[in-house]
Amino acid sequence: MFSTSQLIARIVQTAGSQLATVNGERQQTWQQFQEKIARFAGGLQALGVAKDDCVAMLALNSDRYFEFMYAVPWAGAVFQPINTRLAGPEVVYWLNDSEAKVVLVDSSFSALIDDIRPQLKYAKHFVFVDEVAVPDGYGSYSDLVSAQPVADAGRQGDDVVALFYTGGTTGRSKGVMLTHTNLVVNALQAVAVMDCQPGDKVLHVAPMFHIADAFYCMTSLAVGGTNYFLPGFEPVATMRGIQDYQIDRLLMVPTMVNMLVNHPEIGHFDLTGLRSVAYGASPMPESVIKKGLAELPNAGFYQAYGQTEASPIITVLDKSRHIFEGPLAGKIKSAGQAIPGVDIAIVDENDQIVATGVVGEVCLRGPNVMKGYRNMPEQTSKAIVDKWLHTGDGGYLDNEGFLFIVDRVKDMIISGGENVYSTEVENAIYQYPGINQCAAIGIPSEKWGEQVHAVVVVNEGANVSEDDVIAYCKTQIAGFKCPRSITFQTEPLPLSGAGKILKTELRKPFWANGEKNVN
């Protein structure tokens, strides 16, 4: 049976003296890491944490976040990362819904927790994880991990190991229950196709509360290696980390890749040792891929498509397909092929499989599919039908099994009875020189029901006009798909914690006087 603790035991057996984590001056071997989490688990049990209880963490990236993700299951409980971008009421909802008994917090979020603590129904213990003075009302991390060590609780297989909440940007946030099998198998599925090797040095700059970096943590556990941590992504600090730590692998969302490869100081750092860059969570403009390939010539790029409910990886586009010429070219706009052990099907509104090349909803089945949504049996039954997970993404498969995502089903614009996929519009706009960010949304139209509108951020100093962009789009895509209006803004587009553009926020001003967000 699969379990996160078994992966740790294996690494200790095969590479126990190798460095496991490095966080500034703090570092530990895998043997020391295992001993630490056994004490950590003992401390949690001393606080009353029992089997299947939730333990939450609201903090920036660190080695202690890494310890949290494996000590909580060792204690027999469920770890729950909290999105650092949430407002107080959202944190209250997440913690009350999960019934988390213990909350780990760093100095960046202790004030928020102090404000909402009276509203928390189940959280009784708060642990401060920074090394500065412990605030009143908190236990110290050092005391927690100084407890008597306990044996692994033996949770495995179909036992829930983690609770990841969806962003809730389109409705009530849902708690995705992922099992030991889900997380471990998905890491093993992806290791073979994402160039993960024993001894890899991995830099964590993507937010650790997100399933994407949790997956990257799990791949490190699957093959062994050393994990380095920055509190968050900052281009110069990331480049310095790659250089100084001689990093092999890195995970970023496309906005991070864009900021890094276009940073004016990129030539000041030695990034030649970087072997692998994984990205996902949102579309990557071709211009950014080309820039990345030029600036990081020794790094293979890997696009991973997935979602939280799939633990999260579904398909991978490997480095051999990140090219624009030759016999393997032509797949750069795809999300790649299914990873081993995952079946993909494209279905219509009646759940019937459609022909190759026909757009429908992307569905999958495999051992990485979630156990379900916490306390939401109705939503679970709609998401998983006959073991097939419905992703909510619209896409199609080509004759080689490459998956092309055309849009979130909810983001599709219906203009004059025609389906317009926002990503297709965005891909056209991104080809125009000087475009930094863009999002295509549907806005009200008396004539068409909805019309295509683009919100665009241009590069500093770029001379870009609405007429020119619309005219260019007409040379790239059908006229009915082209934006009929464009809003230019200087501030960056709003992003979720996963780096996805929040189109719901962009739509709000246009639909404020209506009863719904579509016509």
Evaluate if residue 408 carries a pLDDT over 60: yes
Average pLDDT value for residue range 500-517: 75
Q: How far is CA 316 from CA 194, 304, 339, in A?
A: 8, 5, 6
Average pLDDT value for residue range 235-246: 98
What was the pLDDT predicted at 427? Answer: 84
CA distance 265 to 245: 18
pLDDT tens figures, 312-370 = 999 999 999 999 999 999 999 999 999 999 999 999 989 999 999 999 999 999 999 99
- Which distant-in-sequence residues (6+ apart) come within 8 Å of 167 by Cβ? 83, 173, 496, 497, 498, 500
pLDDT tens figures, 28-63 = 999 999 999 999 999 999 999 999 999 999 999 999
- Average pLDDT across the chain, whole number: 92
Q: What residue ranges define each of the domains in the chain, with the CATH number in brackets?
A: 4-179 (3.40.50.12780), 307-408 (2.30.38.10), 413-511 (3.30.300.30)
Instruction: Quote the tokens at residue 161.
Output: 């190991």
Evaluate if residue 72 carries a pLDDT over 60: yes
Evaluate if residue 382 carries a pLDDT over 70: yes
What was the pLDDT predicted at 448? Answer: 75
State whether the Cα torsion 186-192-195-201 is positive or negative. Answer: positive
pLDDT tens figures, 418-455 = 667 787 789 889 989 999 999 999 898 876 778 999 99
Q: If DSSP codes are grouped into helix, strand and coil, which group holds residue 429?
A: helix
Name the band, by pLDDT with cuts 50, 70 and 90, for residue 139.
Answer: very high
Give the residue carrying structure tokens 């600036």.
295
| Prediction pTM value | 0.84
What was the pLDDT predicted at 419? Answer: 67
Evaluate if residue 409 carries a pLDDT over 80: no
What is the chain's Cα-based Rg? 23
CB 200 within 8 A of CB 220: yes
CA 511 vs. chain centroid, Å, equals 29
Percent above pLDDT 70 for the chain: 95
Average pLDDT value for residue range 480-493: 91
Scanning 198-310, the segments in alpha helix (DSSP H) are 211-223, 235-245, 254-261, 286-295
State whether the Cα torsion 201-206-208-212 is positive or negative. Answer: negative
Average pLDDT value for residue range 476-489: 88
Percent above pLDDT 90 for the chain: 77
What was the pLDDT predicted at 507? Answer: 87
Evaluate if residue 517 carries a pLDDT over 60: no
Average pLDDT value for residue range 86-99: 91
- List the one residue out of 207, 227, 205 whose CA is nearest residue 218: 227
